[in-house]
């Protein structure tokens, strides 16, 4: 019972049915990583998701300093809360552009960063490893990156230092 996004994006506004949504209605069911056992579905409500996005983006002391001038790279799967909430929804709330990649491939990633002047790269440690150690990186201009957000697992000091040598201008957030 899913529609392709183009069905919605190309629809006339009169064709989109009105739906009554309550704050405590479920909006998403992402799965936990299973750090304390098996992965579990976590019910998120409209209210909880909106509150989380507002806490990260709005106000005088946001957790994420995203702007409407940012271009945010989203290569992580949207079924994970980090990508759905902290990358996609927070970027949209800030008015930033979002580049979605269907799957990770280092050459395509580097080309997107250079061509679209990506300013925020949301990644996980295996992608940090690729950015820090892959020799292809030296052939691309990554000077547009002002923030690298790494989540889902901690980075070791050696990997953090190697990444900083590739994007010294960027703030690294974990």
Averaged pLDDT for residues 33-46: 85
- Check whether 1 has a pLDDT greater than 80: no
| Sign of the CA dihedral running 168, 150, 53, 3 | positive
Residue range of the domain that includes 164? 5-173
53-95 pLDDT, tens digit each = 999 999 887 788 899 999 999 999 888 888 898 899 999 999 9
Please report, for the domain that includes residue 12, its CATH number: 3.40.50.12780
* 8 A C-beta contact, residue 98 and residue 74: yes
Tell me the CB-side half-sphere exposure of residue 81, using CA atoms within 13 A.
20
Domain count, the chain: 1
What is the value of pTM for the model shown? 0.83
Whole-number pLDDT of residue 68: 94
Of the pLDDT bands very low, low, confident and very high (cuts 50, 70, 90), residue 20 is confident
pLDDT at 24 over 70: yes
């Amino acid at each position: 019972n899913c529609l392709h996004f183009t069905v919605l994006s190309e629809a006339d506004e009169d064709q989109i049915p009105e739906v009554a949504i309550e704050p405590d209605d479920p909006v998403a069911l992402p799965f936990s990583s299973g750090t304390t056992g098996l992965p579990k579905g976590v019910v998120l409500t409209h209210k909880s998701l909106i509150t989380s996005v507002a806490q990260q983006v709005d106000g005088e002391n946001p957790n994420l300093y995203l702007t409407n001038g940012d271009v945010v790279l989203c290569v992580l799967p949207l079924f994970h809360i980090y990508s759905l909430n902290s990358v996609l929804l927070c970027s949209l709330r800030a008015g930033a552009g979002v580049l979605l990649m269907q799957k990770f491939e280092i050459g395509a990633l580097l080309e997107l960063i250079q061509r679209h002047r990506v300013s925020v790269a949301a990644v996980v440690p295996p992608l940090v490893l690729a950015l820090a150690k892959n020799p292809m990186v030296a052939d691309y201009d990554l000077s547009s990156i002002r923030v690298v957000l790494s989540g889902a697992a901690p980075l070791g000091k050696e990997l953090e230092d190697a990444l900083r040598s590739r994007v010294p201008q960027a703030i690294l957030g974990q």
